[in-house]
Chains A and B, each alone.
Chain A
């Protein structure tokens, strides 16, 4: 398994994560963006997940029952390590994810496209879409999803400014 050169436990990152209230208002706003992402990419699954020190947890999701996964082989950590949109057309052909519970379990993720959510320069989580079958992501859909992810980041910033502890 390839390792991820991203320190999920970085105290500076976790400190920023703490300043963003993940309350009902934030979750409701993110849920709408997740719905929009699934609609835009025509996928049965979409979610926003936050990367904590040792696990990645879905704050809101469509078509995914798993709440948290280990950060070691998580899609979120890999996406945040790259700091860029991360598209996996077929997870079974990908070293890091072949053993992820999202891939091996009932959820059976084959296609994944994740986009970093950043606040104050730190990657806090991801917005992603997923499918049970391998597929490609056309450039115009990728662009639209990046815009939707930027909106999710803006919602986190708004939450921090209006209701946060910063």
Chain B
């Protein structure tokens, strides 16, 4: 297994995450966006994953229930580090993920498509991803739709940051 690479400007990125004041409480806006991502991608699972110092935790999930996982095991950690969309049609065929617990464990993931959640400062605080237990293709339209929804999640995070500042 290959752990996610370190992220540049990590201290600044964690400060940016902190300034959003995001907690693990379920919030309708984020729940609706993971639902929308799953619907448009015809995927059974989706999540908004926050890449924190040591943990990748879920702000919202659809189709599975989990609090989070160690950042080193997180596929989304790779997406955030790259700062670019990551699509893996079959996780078993990618050496970075073939022995990842998300793939070998009970969740049994086979397909992953994620986009980074990048705020105005250019830093990725997390990801929006869609998941499946079977390998699949992801067309350019699907990718485009996921990117647009990812930008909406980022807009909500910016709005939360903005409101934090006002209060």
With A32-B151, A35-B148, A154-B152 as known contacts, state yes or no: A147 contacts B162, CB within 8 Å: no
Instruction: Please classify how large the interface on chain B is, using the bins under 10, 10 to 19, 20 to 34, 35 or more.
Output: 20 to 34
Are B159 and A147 within 8 A (Cβ)?
Answer: no
Residue pairs across A and B with CB atoms within 8 Å: the count is 53
Are B149 and A40 within 8 A (Cβ)?
Answer: no
B interface residues with partner A (beta carbon < 8 Å): 29, 32-33, 35-36, 39-40, 141, 144-145, 148-149, 151-152, 155-156, 158-159, 162-163, 166
Instruction: Please classify how large the interface on chain A is, using the bins under 10, 10 to 19, 20 to 34, 35 or more.
Output: 20 to 34
Interface of B is mostly: helix
With A147-B32, A147-B36 as known contacts, state yes or no: A36 contacts B158, CB within 8 Å: no
Are B155 and A148 within 8 A (Cβ)?
Answer: no
Q: Which residue of B lies closest to A28 (CB)?
A: B151
Interface of A is mostly: helix
When chains A and B are docked, how far (Å) is the Cα of A140 from the Cα of B151?
Answer: 22
CB distance from B31 to the nearest CB of A (A): 10
For B151, the chain A residues whose CB sits under 8 A away are 29, 32
Pick 5 A–B contacts, CB within 8 A, sort by A.
A143-B39, A151-B33, A154-B155, A158-B155, A158-B162
Q: Which residue of A lies closest to B40 (CB)?
A: A40
When chains A and B are docked, how far (Å) is the Cα of A151 from the Cα of B37?
Answer: 13
CB distance from A50 to the nearest CB of B (A): 19
For A155, the chain B residues whose CB sits under 8 A away are 152, 155
The residue that B158 contacts in the complex, of A33, A143, A147, A158, with Cβ under 8 A, is A158
Cβ contacts A124-163/B at 8 Å (1 or 0 each): 0000000000000000100110011011001101100110
Are B145 and A154 within 8 A (Cβ)?
Answer: no
Are A162 and B40 within 8 A (Cβ)?
Answer: no
Are A158 and B159 within 8 A (Cβ)?
Answer: yes
Q: Which residue of B lies closest to A32 (CB)?
A: B148
For A33, the chain B residues whose CB sits under 8 A away are 148, 152
